Amino acid sequence: MPDQQVASPEESAGAPRPGPSNRALIAGAIATLISLVILISLGNWQMERLAWKEGLIAQMQARAYDEPGAILPPEQWADYDPQEQEYRRVAVTGRFLHGEEVAVHGLMPTSTRGNPVQGFYLLTPLEIAEGARIFVNRGFVPTSMRDPAARPARPPEGEVRLTGLVRAPEERGLFVPENIPQDERWMVRDIAQMADARGLAGVAPFYVDAEFDPTAPDWPRAGATVLDPPNNHLQYAFTWYGLAAVLAVIFLIYARPRLRSLLRRR
């Protein structure tokens, strides 16, 4: 028989052996790389959202604090574009149809964060011309004042002039209950549905949020539009980038001694 050469313990110890430690290092590197790509992508997405939110806020405030203009005339309502009209400050004159009021469930923020007041926003049609009407959000009332008789002041009668912001109809979110018009349960400011429920024709495809008037009665309280929405996207971006940096450091701490061990074996 030919002589068989048996490696000495020293030779065996010096030979590179792809063992479990190597496989764990490779698997850890792949997992870390995938996680870094995800975390950095989330950070980049938040930076894009930041640019979008800053542009939106700038547009909101530029339009909302401008001199009030005229609303889109009824003959152009078919061409209504929310992007062009949203947050425009307008002045409008007409007569409220208080009997067709719609009370939409809502919350009014208070000075105590996380403790809003529950109640309703009163959307009332304003007849601005023969056959032309616009729903106006006259403001918020607590639940106890849903009944007009329970409110401290009578609603305005006759011709009124008001200033407010043009707003697009709301879209129902995933977790928001549907409107049930027959039960007078309104959760979303769906203007078309409101007009249909009240049997109104010639209704604008948008509504107007009345501005707060310090001389008006306390309820309903107008000025519902938030002109300084939360903008935490930069913080979120730093969070994702920070997690990516921490993950990279943890992997380096994990991999450094194993890489040294591999180099010594070679």
Ranges of each domain in the chain: 20-67+229-266, 88-210
Q: How does residue 155 score in pLDDT terms, banded at 50, 70 and 90?
A: confident
Q: What is the pLDDT of residue 265?
A: 65
> Which pTM was predicted?
0.66
Q: What is the pLDDT of residue 242?
A: 94
Has residue 142 got a pLDDT over 70? yes
Distance CA 126, CA 207 (A): 10
DSSP 228: S
Distance CA 228, CA 109 (A): 13
Distance CA 160, CA 126 (A): 9
Which residues does 53 contact at the CB level (< 8 Å), separation at least 6? Answer: 229, 231, 233
pLDDT in tens, 205-251: 999 999 887 777 778 888 777 777 778 899 999 999 999 999 999 98
Give the residue with greater pLDDT, 6 vs 99: 99
